[in-house]
Amino acid sequence: MFVYGTLMFDEVLLALLGRVPAARRALLVDHARLAVRGAVYPGVVPRAGTAVEGLLLDGLTASELQRLDDYESSMYERQPVEVECDGSRACAQAWIVAPPGRVRLLDVVWDVECFAREHLADYAARCRHYAARGGISPGA
């Protein structure tokens, strides 16, 4: 699974899955990671000539993948993608913003460092609460 936003952070993965899966750096070519209006998390959409740095999570179980599918809002669709990883190409999946959700995207690149500095602690706490009770996605 290729992740590019909040799921790149160990604190979020630990809150949602109870563990941090093995991960490798990866690049999703011809896509852009954009800020979402009114949210601290990003969305990715196809965009020629741009690329998104992220992580390729290895060894997710079926139940963990289901948990992450449940965590992602209906704004996203899990789609097959090809990423560059370790000098070669790999098939993966990623949550891409579905066309109806794209109206919420700003034409501004999502700032990973800003999220880590200003929002990560609160977001991870919301993820722990979400995982403990189920229910509404922490980003909603």
- Whole-model pTM: value is 0.92
| 79, HSE (Cβ side, Cα atoms, 13 Å) | 16
* Domains of the chain from N-terminus onward: 2-133 (3.10.490.10)
pLDDT in tens, 48-95: 999 999 999 999 999 999 999 999 989 999 999 999 999 999 999 999
Maximum distance among all alpha carbons in the chain? Answer: 41
Average pLDDT, the chain: 94
Q: What is the spatial distance between Cα 138 and Cα 47, in angstroms, rounded to a whole number?
A: 27
State the DSSP string of 60-112: --HHHHHHHHHHS-TTEEEEEEEEEETTEEEEEEEEEE-GGGGGGEEEEE--H
132 secondary structure, DSSP code: H
| Degrees, nearest 5: CA angle 107-113-114 | 65
pLDDT of 138 over the 90 cut: no
For β-strands 2-3 and 42-57, DSSP reports them as: antiparallel
Confidence of residue 140 (pLDDT cuts 50, 70, 90): very low
